[in-house]
Amino acid sequence: MFSLGSEQEWSGFELGTTEDEYLKLKGVIGRQFFYNGWFTKQNVNQSLIALAGQLEEENLTNWIYNYPFSTKNKRVAIIMAGNIPLVGFHDFLCVLLSGNVALCKLSSDDKTLLPALAEQLIQFCPELKEKIEFSIGPMKNIDAVIATGSDNSANYFEQYFGKYPHIFRKNRTSVAVIKENESEENLIELGKDIFTYFGLGCRNVSHLLFPKNFELNRFFEAIIGYSEVINHNKYGNNYDYNKSVYLMNQMQLFDNNFVLLRETDELFSPLSMVHYHFYENQEQVDHYLMTHQDKIQVVIGQDHTAFGVAQCPTLSDYADGIDVMNWLGTL
């Protein structure tokens, strides 16, 4: 995956593919933008490189060591989101490594990447052909469900799949806690947490907690390197729309011509906008995080997850804090 994500040329059979197979995968990556305008080559490559880090042998071994292997062959339906490339891969990996069958329902926004990678995976392990299915119709003969979507889709999941053992994920977002002594390096890295995948992921930061009297220009100066996002048509349209709506409603905004900053306690922000508020002490920070804990995916900060790595989770960084491997072991 790293070779694909870093756009390297086929270097030989040590990559585990023939040259034709490798070129075919590169072709699938190159076509993603035509299927989904948010899936630029840069974003798909970013996803592949992040997954390559997870799939290093040492990381896999250390992770799997904590769980017993089984051959239960339970049919686990995985209903995947499509907000960022291969967002459902971790669930897919968990189901396979737990000895079960992955019945995948792909999002229409991300419907070709995983099948292409699965096809290559089956070349390595032919026995997985009986363990991987892709569903385009109603999902039948299932034993459990992992479904990721919005708060609204969670109602649908409950209605149709609530009778099965399940994990239903709803809307979440991420926040960053800034300190008075925050380094310029950390603020620059924070830009990755905000703008990677254009801010579409639940691990993207949409709300900033600044210490009282923090100079906001420090933040704007640090993120100037991410200004190219405005050149993406879909992102630019969101920026123009939100700017117009909020200005018409005479709501105060800070604007650096590629992202809008709005002071509010609201956790979720529209695409191309980041919310923020000021805090006076640690107790106020703790209170805010506790109040919104069921809606926060990642907290970025000196005392939390490091700046710049929100979109590079480890294998043990389970979405919503739910240990999927442990849950699969209870089926």
Domain assignment present for 310: no
Give the domain range for residue 123.
Answer: 2-171
Q: What pTM was computed for the model?
A: 0.93
DSSP state of 9: P
- Take residue 106 and report the two structure tokens written for it: 């792909």
**One-character DSSP codes across 202-248:** TTSEEEEEEETT--HHHHHHHTGGGGGGGGSHHHHHHHHHHHHHHHH
Domain assignment present for 178: yes
| pLDDT the model gives residue 227 | 97
User: Are residue 178 and residue 290 in the same domain, yes or no?
Assistant: yes
| pLDDT the model gives residue 246 | 93
Give the tens place of pLDDT for each residue, 262-272. Answer: 999 999 999 99
Domain assignment present for 311: no
- Take residue 254 and report the two structure tokens written for it: 């800070």
Domain count, the chain: 2
Residues of the chain with pLDDT under 70: 1-6, 11-16, 70-71
Domain assignment present for 54: yes
Give the residue from 142, 171, 200 where a domain finishes: 171
In a 13 Å sphere around the CA of 183, the CA atoms on its Cβ side amount to: 8
User: Are residue 296 and residue 218 in the same domain, yes or no?
Assistant: yes
